[in-house]
Amino acid sequence: MTPHHPSPTVVHHPERQRFEVQLADHLAFLSYQHAGGRVVLDHTYVPNPLRGRGLANALALAALEEARRQGWKIVPECSFVSAFLERHPEFTDLLDRPGAAGSPLT
> 61-90: per-residue pLDDT in tens?
999 999 999 999 999 999 999 999 999 999
| pTM listed for this prediction | 0.86
Domains in the chain: ranges and CATH: 11-94 (3.40.630.30)
Q: What is the 3 state secondary structure string of the chain?
A: CCCCCCCCCCEEECCCCEEEEEECCEEEEEEEEEECCEEEEEEEECCHHHCCCCHHHHHHHHHHHHHHHHCCCEEECCHHHHHHHHHCHHHHHHECCCCCCCCCCC
